[in-house]
């Protein structure tokens, strides 16, 4: 219930199968998902590792390093549940920087 920062290696080890299964959902023909372009939030992503993705005024270089939001929806009898994944484009490909999974439980 809230934001948590931790080592990506520990997090991935505990949650890889859940993350993989949720992202694999977009391969299903009847999957309900969409992708949109977001931007890096300098108030959240302020660690030194994110410095290359900002200009000297602290603004995200979104033309070069966009954030792609993948939202996967799942309908229940009474509600619409969405899982959110944010990927930052880097010089080495896309990097998962944030996620919210409502259809499963992260460990």
- List the chain pLDDT tens, one digit each, 107 residues: 566 677 778 777 887 888 888 889 889 888 889 999 999 999 999 989 999 999 999 999 999 999 999 999 888 788 888 889 999 999 999 999 988 877 767 66
Kindly state the DSSP code that residue 102 receives in the 8-state scheme: S
Q: Tell which residue, 44, 28, 27, has the closest CA to residue 86.
A: 44
Q: What does the pLDDT read at residue 79?
A: 85
The strand pair at 67-75 and 93-100 is best described as unpaired
DSSP strands (E only) in the chain: 32-38, 67-75, 80-90, 93-100
Claim: this prediction has a pTM higher than 0.85: no
Q: What does the pLDDT read at residue 98?
A: 87
Are 68 and 94 contacting, i.e. CB atoms less than 8 angstroms apart?
Answer: yes
């Amino acid at each position: 219930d809230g934001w948590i920062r931790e080592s990506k290696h520990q997090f991935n080890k505990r949650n890889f199968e859940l993350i993989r299964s949720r992202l694999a959902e977009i391969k299903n023909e009847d999957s309900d998902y969409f992708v949109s372009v977001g931007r890096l939030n300098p108030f959240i992503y302020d660690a030194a590792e994110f410095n290359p993705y900002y200009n000297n005024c602290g603004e995200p270089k979104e033309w070069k390093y966009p954030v792609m939001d993948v939202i996967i929806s799942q309908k229940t009898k009474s509600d619409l549940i969405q899982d959110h994944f944010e990927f930052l484009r880097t010089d080495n490909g896309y990097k998962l920087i944030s996620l919210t999974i409502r259809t499963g439980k992260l460990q």
